[in-house]
Structure formats: C-alpha cells, structure tokens
Chain A
C-alpha cells in the first residue's frame, strides 16, 4: 500500500512536459505519458493530468466541456446550466478504465455544445468567450461538487488524483490523437490534492501546467474577481489560466506582452531600457501591477494555436526547451524530452522571465 505523504519522505517538485507538432500532425497520448513518467520522482501521486488539442475533429466547432462530478445532483445541475446557454449535440461519460492507484474517481463527463442562437450576443467571439467563461464560473461555484476541467474547442483536459501515467491509463489517452499535448505530475504543497485542483487548469482553449507556487495568488485573485472570474479550484495555478484569458483574449495584449506582465522585468532593468521600450514596460507594470506573478514558477500554457513556456524572473524552477524536426518539446528535465524522440536537434535551458512562444505553422491545425 502506498504510504501517505508525511509517513514517507518524498523529495520532489512538480513535473511539467509538453509536445507540439508545429505542422499540426497528430500523435497519440503515449509519447507525452512516457515523458511525464520519466519524471515520476517529481510527483507524489496526489495529482496528474494532461491537456490534448486536436482530439475532437468530428466536433471541432463545438465547445467540449469536460466535467468532474462528485455527485449526480451536481452533474445534473451543471447540465441544466449548460442547456440554458448551449445546444448540446452529444453528452457522454468520458471513457475510462479501472486502474490500480486511481481511487474513488468522480464521474467524468463530456458535453459537445454550441451556443444557443438566441444567446449569441452580437455574435462576437469575445462575447461568446465571455458566455462560456461565465457558465464555467457558475458551474464551479454553484453546482454541488461539479467542476469544469476544460471548456475549449477540439481539446480536452484529463486529470485527477494519482500519478500521471496512471491518470493516462485511466483516461485511455493512447486512444486520442492530438497535435499538442501537455502533462503535469503533481506534488501539492500548499493546497489539497484533489481532482478539480489537479493540473492542467483549463478555461476556453487555455490550459496551464505549473511547477512552483504563486505567492501573489491573493492579489491576483482579487484582481481577477473584478473581471468576474470566480476562483473555486483551491489551487494557485487557476489564476494563471484566467490571467491569460483576461490579458490576451479580452484585453488583446500580444502573448509576448502577457508574459512580460506576468513575469515583469525588474524596475532596475526597465530603467536601463531604451526610451520607447522603457515607457511601454513602465506602463505595463503600472496598469497590470496586480497581474504580476510572484513566487517560483515554471509554467507551460497551451492554447489551440500553440504553446508558451515561462519561468519566474529569477528562475526558481527548471524548464528546458528542445526541438526535434517538426516537434517542439518543453519540460522540467532534459531527460523527459529525450525520452520521447531521443537525441534532439536543439536543446537549451529557458532563462528566467524569458517567454518561449511557439505557434503552429500557418496559425492553426486545420
């Protein structure tokens, strides 16, 4: 029997890993599973998860809602909330298998849904995104122990409590084909290890895996609440997903600048910048001071069109980048990237505060 944390010393930190095929070519979930399993030492069995993009080509224009429901009533309430705003074209349990090491899983369910025509306010994509966001927040807050794992198009988050390779087996990830995969092995420190709080944290097309801790969580949370985000998942990484949504989707900041807000250059470095740049970065820090992420982190953010790797400014967590042919890889350890395709064409450490932004060639997978 697995000894509980505290009964055994587990020297670890979280693990993150990601694979993107920049040409949009799909591979199944085995490669990312091997990569994250290579870093098993960094997890302690209290959380594992994956985000996969390109997996629902038959429903690529539908929002795919992945739900974790601890009670049937919660699931029914969540479904009702979805029906009020969306036409649900398919609803089904996410296929799983029994796995030793995955205990008491909640009901995992997915809905493929289109916004109801009468709800498509002004037809703008921003308004539609806001509608999805508000429904996700309502489910997380009001439906009895039902939580939205992901809510994007042609993507899904598969996560839970367990080692990541066991979570992959549980969700049968070898049966999915995606052009972009991220993975997380969790070693929760400040917050409970539970299904909803496992990584990736997802909203719309965004998904975030994170090694570290966001010490500024309280400040970031209060800031996000002013924009009607509700933080219900009891884990600091939730703020990162919502900050990307707010700053990029709603405020139109380029991804590079979003990263420069979250891991802002120090004032001493801004003072040394040439003039137009100095004014830009001063303005960013002044306007978005409450979006600054403090504390140690390495994060990988995925969205439908690419991948972002980012470290805290003084790099208190590891992150390695590698490239092999059409594949871009990122992860906590170089060995985890080599585990996938062997000797890479290029491999290097990502530096503190340096955004690594990789996009699909041609801008999308289709």
Chain B
C-alpha cells in the first residue's frame, strides 16, 4: 500500500479505507500515509471502536467516518474536518487545537476535554463532563455545540470557550442538563436553549439574559448547526436562551490561602 500511496500528489478523489477488524494503530497509520501521499479526502467505512482517529493531524483534510469511532477521536487534532455518520464515544476533541468535528448521532463522556480551539458539533445527546476544562487564548476560542441534552458536570472547570446546549428531541420531563452544571467554571460562556432549575447549577455561575453580542455569536453557531444537520436555525432562534457566566475568574483562589 505504501508504494502506491507515495507516488500520488494532491489527489482529487477520496481515499477509501475499510476499517473492518482493523486495529487502531493500523488504521491511523493508513490515514497518515494517505495524507502524506497527497490525499485530502478520506472515507472510513465500517469503523467500530478504533481509537485516536485524527490524532494530532495538522494537514488540512476532510475525513468521513461511517460507523462508531472509538475514544479520543480528534485528540490533539490541528486543522482537519471530521464528519461522523453515526454515534461517537468518549473523549472526542480531547485537547484539540483546531479543526471541526461533526457527529450526526449522540456521543459519550468528557467531550472537548481541555479543548483549546476548533469546533465540535453533536446532533444528539452527550454524556457526562462535556466541555470539562475547555480553555481559550486570544483568537483561539473552542466551540462545542450539543443538539440534545447533556449529562451532569457539563462545563465543569470551564476556563474558556463557548458551550451551547440545545436540548432538542427531549422527552417530557427530561432536563436540559444533569446536575452540577458548570461547577467550577471560571471562564468562557455557556448558552442554554431554555433554562435549568437553579439546583442543577454550580455555585460558581449565574444565569443571565443574552445581549446583542451574544446573539451575534449564538446566531452564527445556530446557523452552522442548522447547516450541518438540516435543522431550521430560524426556528431555533425564536426560542428563549439563557447565558451562564462565572461569577469569579478565580473561584478557588483563596482555597489554600488561609
């Protein structure tokens, strides 16, 4: 396979990999070899549980995944776009630097862990600790948009970035998020479609109404969400939204002082 790939430069057609039964190491080596050979569009079929897809890749590329990719999808990723036609597992966009991940289905826990840039869009529900310790620096502002509901500890220790929870397709009585929402948050912003009960909220944040600047930012993200998943963004914009902001930038600043 290596020889065949090495001779191609800036190929226009996509490179297709059947991942059935493939170990993650072999799969990721094949992806990297295809990128080195000049392919910029890669389609992975029959993916089921292979970890670290897209890990640390800095080459501009479009990777389409058919199946359920394993944990740490797009970990340390720096630039590519990944589209998952299926559900995701845990740890998507872990410490991701830039690029875009779009998941058509639902996804698991600790999405966007320590994410430093780039965008993650999930159409369905997500698990626990989503957006934990996202951070930002100047123009590097990570964005994480959840179409469904989020489990507990959403936005835990969040230090920067933008986290959106839309709560679409909920059954009656299902809350938008689980308990301990934004516990320990000290930077960035969370937008919720609707409100959550006060008792679910971490001690370090408060709910606010959106201002014009918020609407500009959120409106753009809703448009993008709508484009990816065929959802009418104009309808979403008619709804009430709540903004969560930290009340302190250093909630634990005095914890070990006295």
Contact = CB atoms under 8 A, between A and B. Distances in A.
Contacts of B106: 348-349
Nearest to B72: A11
Contact of A315 (B48, B68, B109): B109
Nearest to A320: B108
A265 B106 CA distance: 26
Contacts of B89: 333-335
Q: Interface centre among A38, A314, A315, A335, by most B CB within 10 Å? A: A335
B90 A318 contact: yes
B85 interface: no
Contacts of B51: 41
Interface in A262-318: 268-269, 272, 314-315, 318
A333 B48 CA distance: 10
A315 B71 contact: no
Q: Is the interface of B mostly helix, strand, loop or mixed?
A: loop
B24 interface: yes
Contact of B153 (A314, A334, A339): A314
Contacts of B127: 315, 318, 349
Contact of A335 (B49, B125, B199): B49
Given A334-B68, A352-B152, A315 B128 contact: yes
Interface in A157-187: none
Contacts of A314: 128, 152-153, 180
A38 B51 CA distance: 11
Interface residues of B, number: 23
B49 A39 contact: yes
B81 interface: no
Given A335-B48, A336-B49, A338-B68, A315 B90 contact: no
B251 interface: no
A347 interface: yes
B87 interface: yes
B131 to A, nearest CB: 15
Given A315-B128, A334-B87, A349-B108, A38 B48 contact: yes
Interface in B166-192: 178-180
A333 B109 contact: no
B114 interface: no
A338 B48 contact: yes
Interface in B58-87: 68, 70-71, 87
B199 A272 contact: yes
Interface string B36-56: 000000000000110100000
Contacts of B108: 318, 320, 334, 349
Nearest to B109: A318
Interface residues of A, number: 21
Given A272-B199, A315-B109, A315-B152, A335 B178 contact: no
A223 interface: no
A56 interface: no
A59 interface: no
B99 interface: no
Contacts of A38: 48-49
A351 interface: yes
A338 B89 CA distance: 12
B151 interface: yes
Nearest to A335: B49
A203 B48 CA distance: 34
Interface string A311-348: 00011001010000000000001111011000000011
Contacts of A349: 106, 108-109, 125, 127, 151
A39 B51 CA distance: 10
A41 B87 contact: no
Interface string B177-218: 011100000000000000000010000000000000000000
21 contacts: A39-B49, A41-B24, A41-B70, A272-B199, A314-B153, A314-B180, A315-B151, A318-B109, A333-B49, A333-B71, A334-B68, A334-B108, A335-B68, A335-B70, A336-B49, A339-B48, A339-B49, A348-B106, A349-B108, A351-B178, A352-B178
Interface of A: 38-39, 41, 268-269, 272, 314-315, 318, 320, 333-336, 338-339, 347-349, 351-352
Given A315-B127, A334-B108, 10 more contacts: A314-B128, A318-B127, A333-B49, A333-B71, A335-B48, A336-B49, A338-B49, A348-B106, A349-B109, A351-B151
